[in-house]
A and B are shown apart, each in its own frame.
Chain A
C-alpha cells in the first residue's frame, strides 16, 4: 500500500532525519513548516533519496488557515496517510517568567496548533484507514518542574490529546504513537548546560520507524528515559517540590 507522510515542523533536525528515513522507503513526504527555502532543500534531498513524492508545504501552528491547503494536497495522494508531528517551541522559563504572554505561543506551538491540525485530518484518516500519527511529546511533559514547566504543561496536554486520538483512530484501524524523547542533539538542546547521553537525531528517527512498524503506543527514546522518568515520576510531591532537577 502506498504511504504518504506529512511532517509538521520539518525544519527541525529530528524531523529531517525522519523524513529521510521514510523517503528511502519510497514513501511520499510533505515537509511542512514556515521556512520554505529550507523545506525545499529537504524535499529535494528526499526526492533524490527515493521518495515517491517530496514537496515543501507551508504550515504555521499559529495560523490554522494554513491547514486546509495541506489537507487538500495530501488527500490527492492515493493510499495511506500518516502524520509525524515535530512542532513545538521552548522559550527559556525565565523569559516566560518575565513575559507571561509567551505562554500562549508555547502552548499553541506545542499543543493546540498541532492538535487542531490533527483534529481536522482525523476524519480523512478514518476514511482511508490504518494510517499512523506520530506525536513527538517530551519527557518534560511527564512532570512539571521549575526549569520548563510551561513547555512541560503544553507537552502534557499534547500527550493526553494523543491518547484520546489513539482511542478514536483505533476504531478505524488507525494508530497513534506518542514519543517522549529525552535529550536529543538538536538546535534546541545545543549549548544548554547539563545535557547527558544525548542521542543523535538519526537514532531517534530509527526508533520512530520501529515504533510505527510495531504499533507501539508510547515510546521513550532513547529507551532508558522510560526508567529515568519512572524514577522522577515516583518521587513524592512533598519531596519533589523542594528539588531542582
Chain B
C-alpha cells in the first residue's frame, strides 16, 4: 500500500499534522508516489516546529531511501540517498578517517534534511554550513529529476540549500567529507564564570569543534555562566558505548519546573572542576549528547516545547546579554541552552548562519513562554540578527522576511521549480513564505 493516513509531529511536539504519508523503499516507488500525489519530502522530523509538517495534505517519508551509493576512500567523497542519517555516517566513516564535514546536534537528522535547513555544527566558525560541502545533488519534481550543484544550476541550488524542501525532493547527494584522526574526541571542558568571560573564551578558542552550554537560569554576577567544550578528533581506544535509553512516557510538568532546573543547572555547572578538565569521549557523546536518550522530547510532557534560536552579529553581543537577562528573570528556561560562535559560512538564500553569536534555549510550551519568545524575536530583529527556521514555531512572516535579505531571490526560484505550490508545508503557510509581501 502506497499511502497511509497518520499523525506526525515536529520534534517540539507543539505542532502536529495529520495526512497521507507514503514511504517509498525504492526510487521507482518514489517516482510513482510523486506522480500520484506531488507532496513535500519529510525525514526524521527533527525540525522543532512545523518545517516537516503538511497538515491535511500529503508527505513523502524518505527515511527508507538511506543507502550509501558511492564512496571514494582516497578523496573522501561520498554519495548517499537523501534519507541516510548523519550519525550512521559518523559511525561508519570515522574509524576510516572521514567525518561528514558538518554534523548537527542530532545524529538522527537525514542528509536531505541537513541540506533543506542548511544546518551548522560545532565547527561552523571554521568549516561553514552543511551546504558548503555538497558537491551535487539529485532533485526530483513531478516533471523529472535534475542534477544540480554550486556551479550547475547555481540559482536553483542556492534556493534548495536551506530551501525547506520547496524546490523538490532531494533524492541523493554527493558530499565532500572532512578527514579526521579517528573515532574518539579529545574534549576540554572549561567553566565560563560570566557572559563576558564566555565571549572571551569563545573568541579566543582555536579548537576545531566548540560548543558552550549556558546556565539560562543564572542571574546577577553569574549571568551567562556555563561550560565551554572544545574538541579535536583523535584515535585510540574508545570507552565502551552505552546503550541508548528511551523515555517511555510523557513526563509530568513539574519535571522541568523552576527549582528543579535551577538545581540541575548548578550541579551541571559544578561537575566541571574550576581548573577545567580534558577527557576522551566516543564521537557520538560529543556530537550527539542527547541522542543517548531516545525520545527525550517527551521529557517536556505532552504539551511539548519550543526552541528559540537566534544569531546576532558580533557587535551586538550586548543584545544577547539582554536576552539572557530576560530569560533568567522569566524562570522558564530548561537546562538545554547553547551558546556558540558562528562564522559567516552559508550556502543558500535562506540559510540561517551569519557571523556572530548564536543562542539556543528550550522552553516548555506555556503561554508565558510564547510571550517571552515573541519578545526575544523582537530583540533579535532589532539587533539585525536572524531566527532559525528549523527551530521556529512562533514567528511571523513579516519578521522572518525582514531577516533574510535574499528571500525575494528564493521566492523567484521556488516559483519556477514548484509553480503550483505542491511542496508547501505548514511552516511555509504559517509564514506566508512563498510571497514577498
Contact = CB atoms under 8 A, between A and B. Distances in A.
A44 B29 contact: no
Interface in A35-81: 35, 37-38, 41-42, 44-45, 48-49
A49 B92 contact: yes
Contacts of B69: 41, 44-45
Given A49-B92, A191-B2, A44 B70 contact: yes
A190 B21 CA distance: 10
B70 A191 contact: no
Contacts of B92: 48-49
Interface in B37-74: 64, 67-71
A29 to B, nearest CB: 13
Most chain A CB neighbours (cut-off 10 Å) among B3, B27, B68: B68
A11 B24 CA distance: 11
A192 interface: yes
A42 B3 CA distance: 24
B120 interface: no
A75 B322 CA distance: 72
B23 interface: yes
A41 B23 contact: no
A216 to B, nearest CB: 24
A38 B27 contact: yes
Given A49-B92, A192-B1, A187 B29 contact: yes
B1 A41 contact: no
A7 B169 CA distance: 30
Nearest to B93: A48
A178 B364 CA distance: 49
B25 to A, nearest CB: 5
B26 A48 contact: no
Interface in A1-19: 11-13, 16
A191 B68 contact: no
Contacts of B71: 48
A51 to B, nearest CB: 12
Interface in A144-192: 186-187, 190-192
Contacts of A42: 67
Contact of B28 (A35, A190, A192): A35
Contacts of A41: 27, 67, 69, 81
Contacts of B28: 35, 37-38
Interface in B1-17: 1-5
B25 A45 contact: no
Interface string A182-216: 00001100111000000000000000000000000
Contacts of B2: 190-191
B68 A49 contact: yes
A20 B263 CA distance: 45
A41 B3 CA distance: 24
B67 A45 contact: yes
Interface of A is mostly: helix
B68 A190 contact: no
Interface size class of A (residues with CB under 8 A): 10 to 19
Contacts of A187: 1, 23, 25, 29, 64
A105 B388 CA distance: 53
Contacts of B4: 190-191
Nearest to A20: B67
A232 to B, nearest CB: 24
Most chain A CB neighbours (cut-off 10 Å) among B4, B25, B29, B81: B25
A42 B23 CA distance: 17
Interface string B339-382: 00000000000000000000000000000000000000000000
A121 B29 CA distance: 32
Contacts of B81: 41
Contacts of B64: 13, 187
Nearest to B24: A187
Contacts of A44: 67-70
A26 to B, nearest CB: 14
Nearest to A201: B64
A190 B1 contact: yes
A207 to B, nearest CB: 17
Interface in B88-122: 92
A159 B81 CA distance: 36
Interface in A81-127: none
A48 B107 CA distance: 19
A187 B70 CA distance: 25
B355 to A, nearest CB: 36
Contacts of A38: 26-28
A37 B30 CA distance: 13
A11 B26 contact: yes
Nearest to B28: A35
Contacts of A48: 68, 71, 92
Interface of B: 1-5, 23, 25-29, 64, 67-71, 81, 92
Given A11-B26, A190-B23, 12 more contacts: A37-B28, A41-B69, A41-B81, A42-B67, A44-B69, A45-B69, A48-B71, A186-B25, A187-B23, A187-B29, A187-B64, A191-B5
Interface of A: 11-13, 16, 35, 37-38, 41-42, 44-45, 48-49, 186-187, 190-192
Q: Which 8 A-B pairs have the closest CB atoms?
A: A191-B4, A191-B1, A45-B67, A38-B26, A48-B68, A48-B71, A45-B68, A41-B67
23 contacts: A11-B25, A11-B26, A16-B25, A16-B67, A38-B26, A38-B27, A38-B28, A41-B27, A41-B67, A41-B69, A41-B81, A42-B67, A44-B67, A45-B68, A48-B68, A49-B92, A187-B1, A187-B23, A187-B25, A187-B64, A190-B2, A190-B4, A191-B2
